[in-house]
Amino acid sequence: KSPENEDEILKLAQSMKIDVKKLKEDAHSEAVAKILEEEIETTERLQISATPTLIIGVKRHVGSMSYPEYKDMLLQMGAEER
């Protein structure tokens, strides 16, 4: 079950030995709010509605892929094999 509110998140974090005080400070900081705002703007501009989404050039792939699938896609796009 996923945590549904801040209290549940903090309890889960504490059980994982995460610095809860620092987590609360960061979660409510202006710096983190700015980063999240920038990330939201980027996802809207690129029309990303799911994760993972991989965009290389003009090619877009939504959903997970295996390593061989990623490799084949990159080779087809002109990448050189090492």
DSSP string over 11-52: HHHHHTT--HHHHHHHHT-HHHHHHHHHHHHHHHHTT--SSS
What value does the mean pLDDT of the chain take? 93
Instruction: Report, as an integer, the average pLDDT of 4-8.
Output: 93
Does pLDDT of 1 surpass 90? no
- pLDDT over 70 for what percent of the chain? 100
Q: What is the pLDDT of residues 38-72, one digit of tens each?
A: 999 999 999 999 999 998 888 889 999 999 998 99
